[in-house]
């Protein structure tokens, strides 16, 4: 039997559901999971093992075997986009009517339906963004706090609400959880209370209210809980490792004392801990449902053995063993490249993309993944410059609100001094922006916003350097030109994906680039010295590595201009050292190569008039003789070879290996 398999794992089934066909192209473990259609099931499995695929197949199988009416199924996904994708997969399986949505969307739909029946009044209007309420409150904050981005404040409100922490408990809870609020905790608690008051006065509710109102409704009204439990009887939750307390509370009410719940997740991919999510619900599932079927999937269908070896090493460095078994043919070795500076990293990355395109890798199968939104900006510019179409997951630089606001602040503004000085004074007055370092404890949005403004300032300095008489009008024209060019490059439908690691969750590409793997970037500076935060940074890298099907390029640069254009000397991310082979058995060393390397070392030590071990010690030579590197990236993976040895001896060593 043979049927067309699409990339996303959906079967092209256009005729009635056939349970045999649903199971046919699954492995035994997956088949077990898919055919376990009743009772509690937990699938705890690593990246790319088919968890998401199992969820859609399991739904189809349950319907095909008449275990459940498709209208009574609720599939919960992590993002709206994932929900659309799940719906598409289910439709491809012949199940257009099944509900797949996020917790929020499900709560919204249910409240819209049940709330008026129970309360005999309409559901208050739901605000899609907290900004219009929070922004004015932020502007009333004392002193420099009034420039705190409203987004950082709304993120913090969401953290509190996701954990059901009321304003008057905020300060104590924040302290207990070691939380670093974007502004002083007591000040934030007041702002949070004023936000709640203002929202209530306006008769509105927000997204978290929607979840808590649903929880309250089901807790208080026997009629409501009966209605929702009659409506839904069979549940699946994808990415369960990133569920927050509010979502979990709602899920428990939906399920009640029934048992048809299937959760799917990977604790090593928990990357939303900072928003209040916890992998604990996944890891404690078995103790909460003692008769749950626990299914472990170990075969990875996404990545080459080479990519998986790297992923496995990152986990092994934590002292655990969790091996993903590869099922795809061997591919090229992932590269870990140390560049001398950020510019050469960028140039090489663009050439590598070009080579992939020449080799037939489609544009849409290439992704560049970075730690923060702001880090995407130079890639947007570089790809535009290189004429390579791209698509930003999230907002493109020139449409970000802070970039728009910075331009708006300059309109009708006449320069009197130098362009950049005038811009700086205008932005200081209008936006509270200063080029000097910002306080270390400011939130993620503040850092992103600052980076955007610094990027805009760098463009002003370029304009100024090209034409010292240029004024604001010329500058704004240049920004418009760049915006146009980037819009054109990103509007073509398909392009190289530019995304943060967070937004890359659940997705996959043929070729993945993970640049800027430096201390202070990944791991991000705020996580240094905080074990839990550092562990989440490692999981982010794990998510990044496991997105790659075949080509994976990790890199960092030993010199990089910071956002102000000043040179910095970053160190390689601490995680990179852990990706190198842990132990190299000397027995595997190629004896003739080892001897050749020793001869080279002797010659080189004499020429430089240094002791032999300064060039390289025996362990390093042995490791080279084991690994037989054929390029600088492979050589850099050899223990004992760092960027400085590579720079000094790299070419010679590679020649010795090649000649042997
Ligand atoms: P993640 O942890 O990253 O979310 P996942 O466990 O959800 O990954 P999927 O996205 O479901 O994994 O599957 C990964 C890839 O492997 C997809 O392209 C999917 O179609 C493919 N795949 C999964 N199982 C099989 C199989 N039995 N045969 C062929 N391909 C498979
Ligand atoms: Mg998945």
Label residue 300 by pLDDT band (50, 70, 90).
very high
**Residue 566, Ramachandran bin (φ over 0: left; ψ between -120 and 50: alpha; else beta):** beta
- The protein residue whose alpha carbon is closest to atom 2 in ligand 1 is 47
CA of 537 to the centre of ligand 1 (A): 24
Q: Is the CB–ligand 1 distance for residue 50 below 6 Å?
A: yes
Looking at per-residue confidence, does 207 or 595 come out higher?
A: 207
Q: Does the Cβ of 47 fall within 6 Å of ligand 1?
A: yes
Atom of ligand 1 minimally distant from the CA of 45: 6
Token pair belonging to 617: 């010690």
Residue 264 near ligand 1, beta carbon < 6 Å: no
Atom of ligand 1 nearest to the CA of 55: 11
Q: Which range scores top for mean pLDDT: 117-121, 222-226, 622-626, 627-631?
A: 222-226
- What is the spatial distance between Cα 655 and Cα 650, in angstroms, rounded to a whole number? 9
607 has a pLDDT exceeding 80: yes
Q: Which two tokens stand for residue 320?
A: 């655990």
| pLDDT exceeds 80 at position 436 | no
Residue 513 contacts residue 356 (beta carbons within 8 Å): no
- Ligand 1 atom closest to the Cα of residue 239 is 4
Cα-based angle 640, 644, 646 (whole degrees, multiple of 5): 70
Mean pLDDT of the chain: 87
Q: Which residue intervals of 301-435 are DSSP H helices? A: 305-316, 342-358, 377-386, 401-408, 419-431
State the pLDDT at residue 42.
96
Give percent above pLDDT 90 in the chain. Answer: 48
Nearest to 545 by CA among 334, 311, 309: 311
Ligand 1 atom 20 nearest Cα: 9
At residue 92 the predicted structure's pLDDT band, cuts being 50, 70 and 90, is confident
Q: Residue 92 Cα, ligand 2 centroid: separation in angstroms?
A: 18
Distance (Å, whole) CA 91 – CA 88: 5
For ligand 1, is residue 85 a contact (CB within 6 Å)? no
DSSP conformational letter for 437: P
Ligand number, closest to the Cα atom of 297: 1
Helices (H), ranges, 150-206: 150-162, 167-176, 185-201
Please name the residue whose Cα sits nearest to atom 30 of ligand 1. 301
**Ligand 2 center to 130 CA (angstroms):** 30
Range 113-120 average pLDDT: 87
Mean pLDDT over residues 362-379, rounded?
A: 92
Mutate to test the pocket of ligand 1, among 90, 301, 324 (most ligand atoms within 8 A of CB): 301
pLDDT by residue (tens digit) across 183-207? 999 999 999 999 999 999 999 999 8
CB distance 56 to ligand 1 below 6 Å:
no
451, 562 Cβ separation under 8 angstroms: no
> Is residue 584 scored above 70 in pLDDT?
no
Give the residue whose CA is nearest to atom 11 of ligand 1. Answer: 50
Tell me, in angstroms, the distance from the centre of ligand 1 to residue 609's CA: 56
pLDDT digits (tens, 9 = 90+) for 266-280: 999 999 988 888 899
Residue 375, ligand 1, Cβ within 6 A? no
Neighbours of ion ligand 2 (CB under 5 A): 51-52, 506
Nearest to 218 by CA among 234, 203, 231: 231
Class of residue 558 by CB neighbours under 10 A (exposed 0-12, middle 13-18, buried 19+): buried
Between 3 and 442, whose confidence is greater?
442
pLDDT of residue 122: 86
Specify which of 106-115, 394-403, 587-596 reaches the highest per-range mean pLDDT.
106-115
Q: Which residue among 9, 21, 79, 238 is best mutated to probe the pocket of ligand 1, counting the most ligand atoms within 8 A of its Cβ? A: 9
For 237-274, the pLDDT digits (tens) are 999 999 999 999 999 999 999 999 999 999 999 999 88
Residue-by-residue DSSP string for 83-101: HHHHHHHHHHTT-TT-EEE
CA distance 604 to 615: 7
Stated pTM of the model:
0.80
**Rounded distance, CA 595 to CA 614, Å?**
18
- The most confident of the ranges 37-41, 486-490, 543-547 is 543-547
Cβ–ligand 1 distance for 495 under 6 Å, the answer no
State how far the Cα of 658 lies from the Cα of 590, in Å rounded to an integer: 13
Please check the confidence at residue 15 and state whether its pLDDT lies above 60.
no
CA distance 306 to 312: 10
* pLDDT at residue 627 greater than cutoff 70: yes
Q: What's the average model confidence in pLDDT over 612-618?
A: 88
Whole-number pLDDT of residue 585: 39
Rounded to an integer, the average pLDDT of 600-607 is: 88
pLDDT at 208 over 70: yes
The whole-number pLDDT of residue 514 equals 98
Is the model's pLDDT at 4 over the cut of 70? no
Assess whether the C-beta atom of 549 lies below 6 angstroms from ligand 1. no
Grouping H, G, I as helix, E, B as strand and the rest as coil, residue 393 is: coil
Ligand 1, from 48, 279, 282, 501: best to mutate by most atoms within 8 Å of Cβ? 48
What's the pLDDT tens digit per position in 36-55? 999 899 999 999 999 999 99
Ligand nearest to the CA of 27: 1
CA atoms within 13 A on the CB side of 30: 22
Residue 45 CA to ligand 2 center (angstroms) comes to: 10
- Check residue 581 and give its pLDDT: 66
SS3 550: strand
Name which residue leads in pLDDT, 580 or 637: 637
CA of 506 to the centre of ligand 1 (A): 9
- Which numbered ligand comes closest to the C-alpha of 238? 2
Beta-carbon-side half-sphere exposure of residue 189 (alpha carbons within 13 Å): 15
Contacts of 337 (CB under 8 A, 6+ apart): 345, 348, 553, 554, 555, 556, 632, 633, 636
Express each pLDDT in 512-525 by its tens digit: 999 999 999 999 98
| Confidence tier at 498 by pLDDT (50, 70, 90) | very high
Please check whether residue 76 is in contact with residue 238, taking contact to mean a CB–CB distance below 8 angstroms: yes
Which residues lie closer than 8 Å to 270 by C-beta, 6 or more apart? Answer: 241, 242, 277, 278, 279, 536, 539
267 pocket-lining for ligand 1 (C-beta < 6 Å) = no
Other C-beta atoms within 10 Å of 136: how many?
12
* Ligand in nearest proximity to the CA of 504: 1
User: Ligand 1 centre and the CA of 299: distance in Å?
Assistant: 9
Cβ(369)–Cβ(544) under 8 Å? yes
- Where does residue 128 rank: exposed (0-12), middle (13-18), buried (19+ CB within 10 A)? exposed
Residues ≥6 apart with Cβ < 8 Å to 648: none
What separation in Å is there between the alpha carbon of 47 and the centre of ligand 2?
A: 7
Instruction: Report CA(4)–ligand 1 centroid distance (Å).
Output: 16
Distance from Cα 261 to the centre of ligand 1, integer Å: 21
Give the pLDDT score at 402.
85
Q: How far is the CA of 9 from the centre of ligand 1 (A)?
A: 7
> Cα separations (Å) of 448 from 184, 374, 483?
20, 5, 18
- Looking at the CA of 46, name the nearest ligand: 1
pLDDT of residue 14: 45
10 lines ligand 1 (CB under 6 A): no
Q: Give yes or no for residue 25 CB within 6 A of ligand 1.
A: yes
List, for residues 280-299, the tens digit of each pLDDT value: 999 999 999 999 999 999 99
Residue 415 has pLDDT above 80, yes or no: no
pLDDT of residue 13: 45
Length of the chain: 660
Residue 441 binned pLDDT confidence (cut-offs 50, 70, 90)? low
- Tell me how far the alpha carbon of residue 386 lies from the centroid of ligand 2, in angstroms: 33
3-class DSSP assignment, residue 375: helix
pLDDT digits (tens, 9 = 90+) for 631-652: 888 898 888 898 889 999 999 9
**Which of the listed residues 50, 270, 549 should we mutate to test ligand 1's pocket, taking the one with most ligand atoms within 8 A of CB?**
50
Ligand 1 atom 9, closest CA: 50
The residues facing 552 across adjacent strands are 512
Indicate whether residue 27 lines ligand 1 (CB < 6 A): yes
């Amino acid at each position: 039997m043979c049927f067309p398999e699409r990339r996303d794992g959906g079967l092209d089934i256009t005729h009635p559901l056939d349970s045999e066909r649903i199971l046919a192209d699954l492995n035994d473990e997956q088949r077990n999971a898919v055919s376990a259609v009743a009772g509690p099931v937990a699938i705890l499995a690593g990246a790319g093992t088919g968890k998401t695929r199992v969820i859609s197949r399991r739904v189809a199988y349950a319907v095909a075997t008449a275990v459940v009416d498709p209208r009574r199924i609720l599939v919960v996904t992590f993002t709206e986009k994932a929900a659309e994708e799940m719906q598409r997969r289910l439709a491809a399986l012949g199940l257009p009517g099944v509900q797949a949505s996020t917790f929020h969307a499900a709560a919204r739909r249910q409240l819209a339906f049940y709330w008026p029946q129970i309360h005999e009044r309409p559901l208050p209007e739901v605000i899609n963004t907290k900004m219009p309420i929070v922004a004015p409150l932020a502007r009333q904050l004392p002193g420099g706090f009034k420039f705190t981005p409203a987004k950082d404040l709304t993120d913090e409100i969401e953290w509190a609400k996701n954990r059901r922490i009321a304003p008057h408990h905020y300060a104590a809870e924040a302290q207990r959880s070691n939380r670093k609020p974007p502004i002083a905790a007591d000040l934030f608690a007041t702002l949070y209370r004023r936000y709640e008051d203002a929202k209530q006065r306006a008769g509105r509710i927000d997204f978290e209210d929607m979840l808590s109102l649903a929880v309250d409704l089901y807790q208080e009204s026997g009629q409501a809980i009966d209605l929702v439990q009659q409506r839904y009887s069979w549940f699946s939750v994808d990415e369960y490792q990133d569920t927050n307390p509010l979502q979990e509370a709602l899920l428990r009410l939906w399920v009640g004392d029934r048992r048809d719940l299937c959760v799917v997740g990977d604790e090593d991919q928990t990357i939303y801990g900072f928003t209040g999510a916890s992998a604990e619900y996944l890891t404690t599932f078995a103790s909460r449902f003692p008769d749950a079927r626990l299914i472990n999937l170990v075969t990875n269908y996404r990545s080459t053995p080479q990519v998986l070896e790297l992923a496995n090493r990152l986990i092994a460095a934590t002292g655990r063993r969790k091996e993903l078994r590869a099922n795809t043919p061997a591919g090229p070795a992932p590269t870990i490249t140390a560049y001398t500076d950020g510019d050469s990293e960028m140039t090489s990355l663009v050439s590598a993309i070009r080579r992939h395109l020449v080799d037939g890798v489609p544009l849409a199968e290439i992704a560049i993944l970075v730690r923060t939104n702001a880090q995407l900006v130079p890639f947007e510019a570089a790809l535009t410059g290189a004429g390579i179409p791209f698509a930003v997951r999230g907002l493109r630089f020139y449409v970000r609100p802070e970039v728009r606001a910075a331009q708006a602040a300059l309109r009708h503004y006449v320069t009197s001094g130098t362009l950049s000085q005038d811009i700086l004074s205008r932005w200081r007055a209008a936006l509270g922006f200063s080029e000097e370092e910002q306080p270390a404890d400011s939130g993620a949005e503040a850092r992103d916003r600052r980076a955007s403004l610094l990027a805009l300032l760098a463009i002003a300095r370029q304009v100024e350097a090209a034409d010292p008489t240029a004024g604001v009008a010329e500058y704004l024209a240049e920004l418009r030109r760049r915006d146009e060019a980037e819009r054109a490059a990103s509007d073509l439908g398909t392009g190289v994906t530019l995304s943060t690691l967070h937004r890359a969750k659940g997705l996959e590409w043929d070729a993945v680039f993970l640049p800027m793997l430096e201390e202070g970037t990944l791991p991000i500076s705020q996580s240094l010295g905080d074990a839990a935060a550092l562990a989440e940074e490692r999981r982010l890298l794990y998510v990044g590595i496991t997105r790659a099907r075949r080509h994976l390029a990790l890199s960092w640069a030993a010199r990089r201009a910071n956002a102000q254009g000043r040179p910095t000397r970053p160190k390689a991310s601490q995680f990179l050292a852990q990706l190198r082979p842990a132990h190299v058995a000397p027995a595997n060393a190629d004896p003739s190569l080892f001897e050749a390397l020793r001869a080279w070392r002797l010659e080189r030590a004499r020429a430089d008039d240094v002791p032999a071990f300064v060039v390289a010690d025996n362990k390093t030579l042995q490791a080279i003789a084991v690994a037989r590197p054929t390029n600088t990236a492979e050589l850099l993976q050899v223990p004992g070879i760092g960027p400085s040895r590579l720079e000094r001896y790299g070419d010679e060593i590679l020649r010795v290996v090649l000649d042997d």
